[in-house]
Structure 1
């Protein structure tokens, strides 16, 4: 008896990966004065998408157990990518957009 593979959540994992990859690209750009992307927004997106991805993986595993289906290895790799990007995005943003101290001299 061959088990069916459950792939219905693959699209959602892919969308989460694309959003996190987009924020990684935006984190690599230097921050301007009128920047929409802030550290708080990068951190909030990373945390919420990591929580959503984790909850989705738990729900998928419940489906797999209840309906005796086989898991999808690509979905697992996508979840690992979500974890890596969710951790990497705030770190990259902080490293790329360090506040540089300006030394000011008073010539009085």
Structure 2
């Protein structure tokens, strides 16, 4: 019996990965005075996108069981990428934007 692949959520995982990669790039840029990206925004995006990706994977698993479809391994690897970036983004932001690096002393 040939099982069909279920790949409908691959695009959503790709969009989530793209957003987290964007925040990774923004986390690597040193924080300036008037920046929009803060630690709270990086943390909120990471947690919310991890929750969305986890819920999406659970829903996909339910579809796979109900309709006897075969899972897509690329989607699972994309989920692992989301987990990795969601954990690393806040850590990288904190390490890159330590308060000691941003201070400048003026001798007036």
The TM-score by the shorter chain falls in which range?
over 0.9
- Over aligned residue pairs, what C-alpha RMSD do you find? 1.6
Q: How does 1:1-108 map to 2 (within 5 A)?
A: 1-100=1-100
> Any unmatched runs of 5+ in structure 1?
none
| Structure 1 outlier segments of 4+, above 4 Å | 101-104
- CA distance in 2 between counterparts of 1:37 and 1:56 reads 26
CA distance in 1, matches of 2:22, 2:39: 14
| Bigger radius of gyration | 1
In structure 2, C-alpha distance between the alignment counterparts of 1:51 and 1:6, rounded to whole Å: 21
Q: CA deviation at 1:86?
A: 0.1
Distance 1:66 1:26, change over 3 A: same
Q: Deviations over 1:18-72 (max 9, x none)?
A: 0000000000000000000000000000000000000000000000000000000
Shift of 1:103: 9.2
Q: Give 5+ residue unaligned stretches, structure 2.
A: none
TM-aligned CA distance change 1:63 to 1:25, over 3 Å: same
**How many residue pairs align between the two structures?**
105
